[in-house]
Structure 1
Amino acid sequence: MTGDQGTGALAVLELLAQEAPAARIEALLHEARRAGAADAELAELARAVELARTVQASAYRGRDREAALAALVDTAHDLTSPYDLDSLLRVIARRARRLLTFDMAYVSLRRTDGTSYVRTSEGDTTALNAGRELGEGPSLGSLAEERRAPVWSADYLDDDSVPHRPGIDAVVRAEGLRAIIAVPLRSGDTTLGALYGADRKVRHFTPDEIGVLLSLADLAALAIQQAALLERTREEVTELERFGSVTNTTLTRVRHLWDCHTRLARMVLDGARLSTLARAAADALDGVLQVRDPGGRPLTAADELPDLDEEAVTRAALQAHTGRSPVPLPGDVWVAPVTAGAEDLGVLVLRASAALTDEDVRLLELAAQSVAALLLIQRGTAAAEGPVRDELLQDLLDRPHHADLHVRERTRRLGIDLDVPHVVVVARPEGGELGKAVAWSSSYAYRCGGLKAVRRGCIVLLLPGSDASAVARKVSAELSPLLGHPVSTGAAGPARGAAGVAGVYEEAGRCLDALTALDGAGGTASLRELGFLGLLLSTDHDVDAFIASTIGPVLEYDETRMTDLTRTLDAYYESGGSPTHAAEALHVHPNTVSRRLERIAELLGEAWQKPAQALEIQMALRLRKARAALRAHRTP
């Protein structure tokens, strides 16, 4: 490349660094053509300009996503205020309109009889929409509620692929609307209504826009439930005061109850961790609190709960979800359901320091709702950040040579520190659809502070940790019960830094392949579990690590105490497992060999003579001897 060509490409880079508009970059190519640049120079510059367009487009998408996430966080804080339902719905519609620059936004609510109506509307120019009955039969909103997924049309009135109703179409014509999107207000397995966005021009909604609107709708559904709870609590207090049955002590308890609930709700939407929320709830209830997932596994705990009757807790959890209320157990233990609509998110297990009052039980219910809110927000945030996080892991897997500073900036924005050890787990569900596993993995990776991607029908997780086997077993233990069928996992690591992720991923994939070849589907395999097979599969063939993991305690014992356990172990295997013949080879008494073998059993475990471990011990001994022989003959 000539100096002028380099200068042209350098000019493109300088404009990119200055965040100059695309028109200025395009102008470089026009100027070069006017100046009569050579064809080769023009081709080089045209390629540089094309790459610059790609970089700018990627940067703009990243900024848009960051802005959307920031707006969602602001919205979450807004929704913590104690609104009545109408005020809350106006805030939701206004936020939707501003967040995605809609001309109009509105919310419909579903009644218990299945009919729906428009409760509030923002940006309308007529009085036809707010309060309108949506009637029966299919429509854009009813389709979104039924499918529990977004439904949209870029040009609604001219789109025959979506259902139409005369009354709704009349409002659309009167408002001059073209593009319309409806997303469900989901609460567990139920739907409260739908959130709509509309434009007065043709508009094709992007996946990012749809994802942001879905996250907003999930937050809105949760806030609607909280507003309904607030209204019920106010009505109860008002009713008690009206009949004169509230003493000062009762009012104090009610106020304390409400203060605790408000504090927990604020913690949820201020971004508190689940462990912090559990600790605050435990302090408010004066006890030890544990949060468990739907499978009964602890997600976090304020403290340990020893001597717990797990069978009784399992039965109480089922009863709590059936009755949708806390269930007491002997010993001042309570089990409270954590639910969102009809969806089971887990349970709270509380061991109180004293018998609970009615107000304490109500506070336990409110604490369970706060935990459910936090889990839903984490899920919504994971979904909103999902494309950004998935894209980052794809880059780490595909391009280990990727610019380190660029990766550091992206990981910093997502709160991920690749300087600490991370392992890679490749999980393959053995049956069923992958969709449910993918949804779970996004939430799980976000909760653990890691990343997720999907490749070749497998879920790839990059998670903090140094024990690949333990992390993989934890993934399998949580995902398998959720799917109802086994999950095979291959794991490798740890890796430090962005450059090591791709190599560790390749090793994890090879471990999963080896697990399949060995007819171990549904199990977990890492280099450590695979033993000498892991040594063969490893990219760096770390002989030292294999020897240390197999006979390291014996080597260390010999080194520190000047004993001959390693030589005894070698002689024992060379003699076909005969202590007598080993003693002859070592020129010691057979009792000496027997005592040494007892010490070896203490160091390596009682299973050291079983075939699988014995094979690896012999392999380690042979590798150690072969390496020593090769080093002895090494040319100086």
Structure 2
Amino acid sequence: MSQKKDASVAAVLALLDLLAGEGPANRFEAVVEEARRQGVTGADLRMVEQTRRLALGIQARLERRQQWSAALAALVDTAADLASPHTVEDTLKIITRRARLLLGADVSWVTLPAAEDDGGFRLHSLDGHVTMLNARLRLPKGAGLAAAVRAHRAPLWTSDYLTDDSFRHAHELDQWISAEGLHAVLAVPLSRAVTVGTLHVADRSVRHFSADEIALVNMLAEIGGVALDRAVYLDETVAEMSALRERVLRAEAAGDEARALAAAQGALLDLVLGGCDPQLLVEECRRRLGAPVLLCGPHGTAIAASGALSGRTREEFARAAEDTGTLLDPSPALLDYGIWSVPVLAGSHHLGALYVQAGPALSGDTAELLRHAARAAAVLLSLQEGGGTVVEGQFRDELLGDLLISVPRPRDVLERRARRLGIGLDQPHVVVVARVAGDPQAHAVTRASSCARRMNGLQTTHEGDIVLLLPGTDPGDAARTVHDELSSLPGGPPTVSGSGPVSDPGAVLHGYREAARCLDAMTALGATGTSASTHEMGFVGLLLSEQVDAERFIQSTIGAVLDYDEQRLTELVRTLDAYFDTGGSPTYAAEKLHVHPNTVARRLERIGDLIGSDWQRPERALEIQLALRMSRIRRVLGERGEPAGDQDA
């Protein structure tokens, strides 16, 4: 018995010795077996086995503490590593690598909200993966462990991902999980200041995650979240600094351009004030712009040119100048053939235009330099003209005044004087008469003179009214243009009338008288403050006109009905005559025409489609009846063989 007691005590001491020496677990079992062989039984054997169990428990606790200490040391190393400045991408790589190593897992990754901001996620910074199916892998909204973690803000895990139905699956992610052979997946929230991501670790075997493992990964995620916040802020700061650096560089470049523009403007003004001629100024402009330059007068006449101007280039310049006409916007305008135009203006006085063949695109500094060059040209031309602008204005007033006197002047003299001003009296012109409240105001005369000069016409005051002779064929449009030009002046809108067109110096006086009668009629009819032409006033304009154009009146009133009858052999004109002859009664008109009333109704409806639905209004009906009667008289006289030209009167 003493010998067995000694054997049990020796076994207990051996177990304690193994515990103290951190022996392997199989050695503990060997000590118990040795005690059995030596005959230890009963209570002594139970004591030895209990000692083994206690020793193994103590050893397991020591091992867990050692593992926990090692994990904490790894977390400290991770925190120290993340304390250094990193980009967002590098920070995510450090987090996933340390998470995988910390748990000895097979794969780790991070999911972050997708850039599309639609509630979905994208995988980032995978570590340990062996396939490429994860490239730009995107999880839809509410799918995967990431969505569940984001909803609960707590760690979640599954021992076998593909067979777990406790969360919503996504086909793309399941396909990748299957390709990687992953089963157990742990996901913990990766907190950030603005959004919430998720840190995942996964094994290629089915297993459970212990509380210590979950706690370790959760602590790593907390540390990583803080580091990720700082990395995001660092990236944003770097981006802002880069943008600020770009703004500084642009500001410096803009300053250099401004200084260069100021130097160019100073050089151009020095040339002008030094008394240079236009050719020298244009050459300086060409040198600074690096493109051919042409300076033209107000009517397209070339004043000076510089650069490699071939015959074709000169033709293109001339064609562009002719097509453009007068420009008043000081900004450069792109014409055809890559030519840019900018007007040369002295106040409201148009002195010409500057043309540059600079291609289809124009930089901001080049456009500003063009404007400076045009201003310098305006100063030069104004200095050279001296009082020429005033003298030219007097010539224009005197020319139109001579055209309005009853004593005729020699035609060749009038045409020669007009050509000096760039006006061709043999071309179509319209006469416009404007009447303002009281005597012609100085502002109205000045505004009308500017309008006439801009349109290359003439202006003067005659018998208390403002008279303009403007190029064109539409007197109504010209009257509206002058009315709009003078309407902004104090004293109320003017009354404006127009007549024409005229293409002979001797016809200007007749056009003026016709427009003046139209103006008097507008005043008598209470239409002051408006604009109109003799053509627009219907039969009243017909009566006012010195040269009665009955054919035009008939065509403008019922021409569509006449053409319809002629083309389709209908009787719309005859129906109109019957309708008016019977006092506007479709029933009586049908009896007179020996047709059904519905036929008359359909014809009247067709007439409305042709000349307008308001043709039965009293004023329209009066004009239509007058046109019908004139048409009938012309037809009867024509059948008698009398000359058609004698019937207009």
**How high is the TM-score relative to the length of structure 2?**
0.45
Q: Which has the higher contact order (CA 8 A, sep 6+)?
A: 1
